[in-house]
Amino acid sequence: MQDTSGQGQNSQQHPTDTTGVGAAADHTSNRLPELSGNGSFGRPTPRHDGTLKVTGQARYAADHPIRRVVHAVAIQSTIANGRVKNIDASAAEKAPGFLAILHHGKAPKLYRPSNDFMSATKPGEIRVVFEDDRVYYAGQYIALVVAETLQQANYAASLVKIEYDFLHPVIDTDQAMNTVYDPEQFFGEKLTAQRGDPDGSYAAAAVKHEATYSTPLEHHNPMEPSASMAEWNGDELTLYETTQWVVGARNTVAETLGVPQEKVHIVSPFIGGGFGCKGFIWPHSVLSAIASRQVGRPVKLNLTRKQMFSACGHRSETRQKVRLGAAADGKLTSIFHDTLVQTSPVDEFIESCGTTTEMLYSCPNVGIAHHAVRVNIATPTPMRAPGENPGTYALESALDELAYKLKIDPVELRIRNHADTNEHTKQPWSSKYLKDCYRMAAEKFGWSKRNPEPRSMRDGKLLVGWGMATATYPGMRNPGAAKVRILQDGSATVVSATQDMGGGTYTTMVQVVSDALGIPVERIQSTLGDSMLPPAPVSGGSMTTASVLPAIRKACEQALTKLVQTAIGDENSPMHGKKEDEITAQNGRVFVKGSSPSSGNTYAEVLASKKMAAVEGEGFLQPGEERKKYAFQSFGAQFVEVKIDPEIARARVTRVVSAFDVGKVVNPTTARSQGYSGIIMGIGMALMEHTIYDDRDGSIVNSNLADYAVPVNADVPDLEVLFVDKPDPYIDDQGIGARGIGEITITGVAAAVANAVYHATGQRIRDLPITPDKLLQV
């Protein structure tokens, strides 16, 4: 394995740009020091919200104490196709504590929202709850019962009798092929694309590989089931939610109810995991609101684990045909990636598996295509690295198979096909250290000791396999805003309507403020998860870090400017009458440049002298011209060891080493935790997770955590997560240089596991998950 890019260096040169647009930004400021890591920025920092969580003080959606709250229970369809013929609630209405029942024949008028992601109005399904009497999938909301207590609501709901006109559902993709169509785009990305001549170059290729890879339908299963608690105060609504997007929830609920956005207030300070199922806005958020208005009391609606399987989206199954052509030296000459997915009868969500293939490797001839069928299953939704995760499984598995045909080491094959630029968009990378990731992870893993022959390595009676794959995810960024206040006691606060579902945003917000202002992290309070705060994007697409942290640093600069102006205007200050550019502020003090910090005043002294409670800075930043000049992408490498007991057909992942290039790592502690999380979820995808439907009625057979297997502690091996930790010089103009890490860490894991299974057994399994029944032939 050779890395000719220059280890530790950016593997591509950037053009000179004297305009300041596209060139690495000038991050110097009169007020702020460089983010050099001298403070907490870039260093391991304990979770700022950790104490609240471990002591049970963190309030999740269902935990907020609301006086006179009553409870709602949703009734879901037991068929997957047909109509509601009759709803008999007579017995329920006589039950103890009964307050109300809502359904399509007894509900207020609701409106379809704009369904526009860019304007933050994105429901999970565009069909409004209780819109009509049609049933499109099992688990669809049919009615809602409200009662004084949860037990009474459950009992009353059990007494409601529903009659249906039943139609046979279509669940299987093969049975739905009469509905197949080609979707045009996925969030603006075209789903059919071609450069060069993929067909002709494949026909002429010296070495060819073609195979179909499939992934099953999967569910997110966060630890915290979704919940919504609604309280009206006149015409103003407060919703206590578990959402990855407080601004999107506010806008979407407001449009659905037909009320002004300023009349809806979303509160979601803590989220017990989401992985995408809490990103868009689902019907339970509207149901709690209309029920509360109906009964004139606050209403709490908690979803059960079973309801989470049909009420909050899932990852569609995929069938991916990958065709690779290469020269004898391993250089790719042709790539074609064709994807077939499922979507629902009432909306469209496409698992865009091929979009990564367009740019991941250097190849002159590339084609991608996507097709969808409509089945009687609820609408899919983003699930950690939507598109990229199942897409890299197919592409990286195919590349491993090609490596065996070429007799080239899998890592070496990827290096030979390294893409020095984004050949799809024809842009240079903002930064790229993928070769460093290969080198770092391979050395730590001991890849050079691998015997390349399948079924050649053993540990006693166990078959041992080593596999690897590339990881990647876009470096997304959206508009973000924040406010920072320096208080009279020298402490600070930072607020933004972003979210923290475990990734560590509470902590990284504080780290940026601490480094910019020179105030210890323990004296800074961060607040988020409230739609009344400065707006921020969805906590999805790994965009929070790149969107919110630069805005926070900008707000710090403005706050310090105001503090300096206050000091200059104070006749009792040693800085009185000085020009602004003669004063600097850092490490908790304001002083004249070039002089000792002790010659100036502390922040507290400046504010107290003028009898001011605080100074406040605001920051709002959004992507600019840099997006037209550079391609922003994160990269990584996953190396996996599996051990297989052929006597009982059991595969265990026993070791994982991963390396990631995600720009600057703001907090290695929380970043590494994100790495563990993604890798573990990838192991579940490879070996366990699979939602099973009953073709007869469309119900889910394993809608619980007893039958839907996810990795537990006993399934988790030794994990080592490494970071290149070099800032992206173009991602923002505030010197943060960080890209998100929430999703890249799962990409490539399933492929690396599958490739390791082949190396161990000599048998290629292309249909996930790799369960014992598929290993019985090994």
Average pLDDT in the 426-447 region?
98
Q: Side chain identity at 532, as an amino acid letter?
A: M
Q: What is the pLDDT of residues 633-653, one digit of tens each?
A: 999 999 999 999 999 999 999
pLDDT at 28 over 60: no
What percentage of the chain carries pLDDT values higher than 90?
Answer: 93
Q: What angle do CA 54, 300, 120 make, to 5 degrees?
A: 85
Q: What angle do CA 140, 378, 81 make, to 5 degrees?
A: 60
Q: What is the pLDDT of residue 32?
A: 66
Q: Is residue 23 part of a domain?
A: no
| Strands (E) located in 344-461 | 366-374, 421-422, 427-428, 457-459
Q: What is the pLDDT of residues 662-712, one digit of tens each?
A: 999 999 999 999 999 999 999 999 999 999 999 999 999 999 999 999 999
Q: Is residue 123 part of a domain?
A: yes
Q: What is the pLDDT of residue 35?
A: 54
Q: What is the pLDDT of residue 187?
A: 86
Mean pLDDT over the full length of the chain:
94
Q: What is the pLDDT of residue 33?
A: 58
Average pLDDT in the 588-616 region?
95
Pairwise CA distance, residues 69 & 65, whole Å: 9
* Residue after which a domain boundary falls, among 624, 649, 675: 624
Say if residue 618 is in the same domain as residue 638. no
Q: Is the dihedral of CA 454, 458, 461, 466 positive or negative?
A: negative
Residue 38: band (very low, low, confident or very high) from pLDDT cuts 50, 70, 90: low
What percentage of the chain carries pLDDT values higher than 70?
Answer: 95
pLDDT at 171 over 50: yes
Average pLDDT in the 269-287 region?
98
Average pLDDT in the 702-725 region?
97
- 136 closest CA partner among 145, 122, 126: 126
Average pLDDT in the 368-382 region?
98
Beta strands 141-147 and 185-186: pairing type? unpaired
pLDDT at 30 over 60: no
Answer whether the bond into residue 15 is a cis peptide, omega within 30°.
no
Q: Bridge partners of 342?
A: 373
Pairwise CA distance, residues 658 & 745, whole Å: 8
Residues 6+ apart with CB under 8 A from 377: 80, 137, 171, 217, 314, 342, 344, 693, 698
Q: What is the pLDDT of residues 727-760, one digit of tens each?
A: 999 999 999 999 999 999 999 999 999 999 999 9
Residue 73: CATH number of its domain = 3.30.365.10
Say if residue 411 is in the same domain as residue 537. no
Residue 6: band (very low, low, confident or very high) from pLDDT cuts 50, 70, 90: very low
Residues 6+ apart with CB under 8 A from 257: 110, 111, 237, 264, 286, 289, 290
Q: What is the pLDDT of residues 581-594, one digit of tens each?
A: 999 988 899 999 99
Say if residue 532 is in the same domain as residue 602. yes
Q: What is the pLDDT of residues 97-149, one digit of tens each?
A: 999 999 999 999 999 999 999 889 999 999 999 999 999 999 999 999 999 99
Known catalytic residues are 743
Q: Is residue 649 part of a domain?
A: yes
Say if residue 692 is in the same domain as residue 617. no
Say if residue 40 is in the same domain as residue 154. no
* Residue after which a domain boundary falls, among 624, 640, 672: 624
| pTM of the model as a whole | 0.95
pLDDT at 769 over 90: yes
Pairwise CA distance, residues 4 & 284, whole Å: 54
Say if residue 600 is in the same domain as residue 674. no
Q: Are 315 and 385 in contact (CB under 8 A)?
A: no
The number of distinct structural domains making up the chain is: 3
- 667 closest CA partner among 553, 515, 535: 515
Q: Is residue 585 part of a domain?
A: yes
Average pLDDT in the 383-406 region?
98
pLDDT at 472 over 50: yes
Q: What is the pLDDT of residue 21?
A: 32
End-to-end alpha carbon distance in the chain: 31
From 38-47, 93-102, 239-248, 291-300, the region with the lowest mean pLDDT: 38-47
pLDDT at 477 over 80: yes
Residue 5: band (very low, low, confident or very high) from pLDDT cuts 50, 70, 90: very low
* Residue after which a domain boundary falls, among 601, 624, 647: 624
Say if residue 93 is in the same domain as residue 49. no
pLDDT at 175 over 90: yes
Q: Is residue 571 part of a domain?
A: yes
Q: Is residue 423 part of a domain?
A: no
- 398 closest CA partner among 363, 346, 441, 437: 363
Say if residue 143 is in the same domain as residue 117. yes
Q: Are 173 and 342 in contact (CB under 8 A)?
A: yes
- 618 closest CA partner among 560, 547, 531: 560
Say if residue 265 is in the same domain as residue 131. yes
Residue 547, SS3 per DSSP: helix
Q: What is the pLDDT of residues 501-529, one digit of tens each?
A: 999 999 999 999 999 999 999 999 999 99
Place of tokens 């609301």: 66
Residue 186: band (very low, low, confident or very high) from pLDDT cuts 50, 70, 90: confident
pLDDT at 294 over 70: yes
Say if residue 597 is in the same domain as residue 664. no
Structural domain boundaries, residue 690: 7-16+387-418+429-475+632-777
Q: Are 318 and 214 in contact (CB under 8 A)?
A: yes
Q: What angle do CA 177, 395, 10 make, to 5 degrees?
A: 140
Say if residue 69 is in the same domain as residue 160. yes
Place of tokens 């492929």: 751
Q: Is residue 309 part of a domain?
A: yes
pLDDT at 420 over 90: yes
Say if residue 586 is in the same domain as residue 688. no
Average pLDDT in the 351-373 region?
98
Higher pLDDT, 485 or 188: 485
Residue 7: band (very low, low, confident or very high) from pLDDT cuts 50, 70, 90: very low
Helix, strand, coil tally for the chain in percent (to 5): 25, 25, 45
Q: What is the DSSP string of 383-415?
A: -SSTTHHHHHHHHHHHHHHHHHHHT--HHHHHH
Q: What is the DSSP string of 576-634?
A: TT--GGGEEEETTEEEETTS-GGGSEEHHHHHHHTT-SEEEEEEEE---THHHH-B-EE
Q: Is residue 764 part of a domain?
A: yes
Pairwise CA distance, residues 136 & 397, whole Å: 35
